[in-house]
Amino acid sequence: MSNGNHGGEAAQQRRGLMVFLALAVLTVVEYIVAVSLSSTPLLVTLLALAAGAKCWAITVYFMHVSRLWRGEEVH
């Protein structure tokens, strides 16, 4: 069935799993950094970087932001 999505279902599900694992690792790293560091400026910087990376991954891979300009039906 032509459904406008790139790659097979299994490949897309695998990519989703990889993204989820990356997000989970970043979350654990955030927690460990927060309980380990005492320097507030460094902590704020590292947490902001981690949150930015997670936001980027979700926006690009889960929310498919590129479909705004690329479209979904184009192969």
Partner 1 sequence: MAAAVSHGHEHADPVAHAWHRVRINRLGLWLFLISDGALFAIFAASRFYIAGTAIDAHLNQLLGLAITSLLLLSSFSAYRAETAFAHGNTAHGRTMLLATILMGLLFVGGVAYEWSIAEFAASEAYGTAFFSMTGMHAFHVVTGLLFLGVIWARSGSGRYSQGPQVWPVTAVVIYWHFVDVVWVFFYPTLYLLK
Q: Specify whether the backbone of 4 is left (phi greater than 0), alpha (psi in -120 to 50) or beta.
A: left
Question: How far is the C-alpha of 31 from the C-alpha of 8, rounded, in Å?
Answer: 35
Chain Cα centroid distance, residue 20: 7
Residues that bind partner 1 (CB under 8 A): 1-5, 8-9, 12-13, 16-17, 19-20, 23-24, 27, 30-31, 33-35, 37-38, 40, 43-44, 47-48, 50-51, 54-55, 58-59, 62-65, 67-68, 71-73
